[in-house]
Amino acid sequence: MLYPVIAAAGLILVRVSLPLPTEIDFIRLGFWTVITLIAAALPVRLPGGVHATITTAPVLAALFDTGLGNPFGVCWVAFVGTFEPRDFRGEPKWYGTLFNRADWVISSYAAWLVLLGTRSVLTTGAPLAMVLQIVAAGGVFAIVNNTLGLLANSLKNQTPISRVWALSVSNIVIGIVSQVPLGWLMAEIATRVGPWAVILFMVPLLLARFSFSKYTETRELFFGSVSALSQAIDAKDGFTRGHADRVSRIAGAIAREMGLAEKEVELIELAGLLHDIGKIGVEDRILMKPARLDDDETELMRRHPIYGASILRPAAALLPLVPLVMHHHENYDGSGYPEGLSGDAIPLGSRIIIVADAYEAMTSDRVYRKAIGHERAMDQLNRYKSRQFDPKVVRALDALITSRGVAAFEASDLPQIEYETLAELRRRLAQDPLIRDAHAG
Ligand SMILES: [Fe+2]
């Protein structure tokens, strides 16, 4: 897809430049290019790999400026002005850089075509007609620009386009759309007041950029906190190092295979990370007992989903995870705990997590036994489907691994975690002579 898009943009640039339009204000052209370059110097990397910039407004300003011999002016501003510092550092690769430039050129040209097509509407001079024209041209620009960007990221990261959209652009749509009227205003002010007045527009543009970066920061903070919580239980329970992280990835992959919406997939991934957080409330002598638990101990251990739900409930951002964590040990036939729910009464996320949990436990080595391998794990899941597991979920896991292999579980946006369990940390620190001396003293 990359090369046809780059070729199309090349043809557009040739088409708008030959013959060279006679009435071009080259100083103005240089001015918009510099303003766009300044805006492009401040990209924000969103989750999902998309880079958001505030270049939409100055490129649209060039589109609405009548002194640039458009579409010549806007296409060249879009091509030259949108170079970002990372392009000069060699990230992305040269074809990625060319694709991004092509994206801006094509969306600018598409917006110009809309402007041309609706010009007859504008001749009526009615303010409403003008607003409609700005909305139509700006809307087409934003749609073409972001669709091509999403497609490229989806192909590059082998991630469904819906996921890239959910992670990135869907959360900053207002910041992007607000640049459309801003672009028109910048062109008007530059014409009526003077180009210097455009500098004032850097303030709302920086505000838009601030909202992009705040979204990214908040999300990173949230995922970081959830991950830290999840590691707390992994660190305590030395038997299950990295278990929650893998359950989360497997559960997310199953949910995606079942066609759930990205927001729901994310919820299931988070619940997968935190499903056993309630084990913090289980006494160490039970949690870390190397032998089989007796009946009383089993009963106490079985309270961990209730503890987990109560730990998460006070945090508003974690509230949607509560039912998923609460019911992650409910069996499909109603024989599970804590409430004995059955069938579709169990939240779908919990039905997915119990399968991911069992599959992960069977396919990873533990201190007390070796992994049994994928084939035998699937045999077990199939044997207990309809009793312990939802057959639809087991089928989805089977289909997922058949089509993509275990690599399917790596396609997650979650940060990779370097684990060191508490037991390992204690051992490592105990070997440190300074600490030994301090204890001795
Ligand atoms: Fe559990």
In 3D space, the residue among 137, 140, 208 whose CA is nearest the CA of residue 179 turns out to be: 208
In 3D space, the residue among 312, 389, 405 whose CA is nearest the CA of residue 346 turns out to be: 389
DSSP-assigned letter for residue 346: S
| CA 254 to ligand 1 center in whole angstroms | 18
- Side-chain half-sphere of 260: how many Cα atoms within 13 Å? 20
| CA 415 to ligand 1 center in whole angstroms | 22
Q: Could you tell me the two tokens for 160?
A: 């469904």
pTM to 2 decimal places: 0.76
Most confident option among 42-46, 88-92, 122-126, 393-397: 393-397
| CA 358 to ligand 1 center in whole angstroms | 10
List CB-based neighbours of ion ligand 1 within 5 Å. 276
Better pLDDT: 321 or 26: 321
| CA 404 to ligand 1 center in whole angstroms | 27
| pLDDT greater than 80 at residue 206 | yes
Q: What angle do CA 147, 149, 151 make, to 5 degrees?
A: 70
| CA 223 to ligand 1 center in whole angstroms | 21
CA 242, 245, 246, 251 torsion-angle sign: positive
Contacts of 46 (CB under 8 A, 6+ apart): 52, 167, 168, 169, 171, 172, 212, 215, 216
- List pLDDT tens digits, range 169-190: 887 888 888 899 999 999 999 9
Using DSSP, state whether 44 is helix, strand or coil.
Answer: strand
| CA 231 to ligand 1 center in whole angstroms | 15
Most confident option among 33-42, 401-410, 413-422: 33-42
Distance CA 247, CA 251 (A): 6
Contacts of 359 (CB under 8 A, 6+ apart): 250, 377, 378, 381, 397
Residue 411's pLDDT band, with cuts at 50, 70 and 90, is very low
The mean-pLDDT minimum among 290-294, 325-329, 431-435 falls in 431-435
- List pLDDT tens digits, range 334-360: 999 999 999 999 999 999 999 999 999
For 364-393, the DSSP string reads S-BTTB----HHHHHHHHHHTBTTTB-HHH
| CA 228 to ligand 1 center in whole angstroms | 18
| CA 222 to ligand 1 center in whole angstroms | 22
| CA 405 to ligand 1 center in whole angstroms | 26
Residue 328's pLDDT band, with cuts at 50, 70 and 90, is very high
Q: What is the pLDDT of residue 59?
A: 95
